[in-house]
Amino acid sequence: MRKIAVIGAGQMGTGIAQTIAAHGMHVMLTDIDLATAEAGKGKIEKAVTKLVGRGKIEADAAEALLAKVTPIGEYAPMAEADLIIEAATEKEPIKQAIFESAGKVLAPTAIMASNTSSIPITRMANHSPDPERFIGLHFFNPVPVMGLIEVIPGLATAKDTTDRVTAFAEGLGKEVVLSQDEPGFVVNRILLPMINEAVFVLGQSTAGIEDIDKGARLGLNHPMGPLQLADFVGLDTCLDIINVLYRTTRDTKYRPAPLLVKYVEAGWLGRKTGRGFYDYSGDAPTPTR
Ligand code: CAA
| Structure confidence by residue, pLDDT tens digits, 206-263 | 999 999 999 999 999 999 999 999 999 999 999 999 999 999 999 999 999 999 999 9
Q: For the segment 83-111, what is each residue's pLDDT rounded down to a tens digit?
A: 999 999 988 999 999 999 999 999 999 99
Pocket test for ligand 1, best of 145, 188, 272 (most atoms within 8 A of CB): 145
pTM: 0.94
Q: For the segment 125-165, what is each residue's pLDDT rounded down to a tens digit?
A: 999 999 999 999 999 999 999 999 999 999 999 999 999 99
Provide the pLDDT for residue 241: 94
Residue 5: pLDDT above 90? yes
What is the average pLDDT across 169-179?
98
Average pLDDT, the chain: 97
Going from the Cα of 146 to the center of ligand 1, the distance in angstroms, rounded, reads 7
Provide the pLDDT for residue 107: 97
Residue 280: pLDDT above 90? yes
Going from the Cα of 142 to the center of ligand 1, the distance in angstroms, rounded, reads 5
Provide the pLDDT for residue 102: 97
CA dihedral of residues 161, 167, 168, 169 (deg, nearest 10): 110
What is the average pLDDT across 16-21?
98
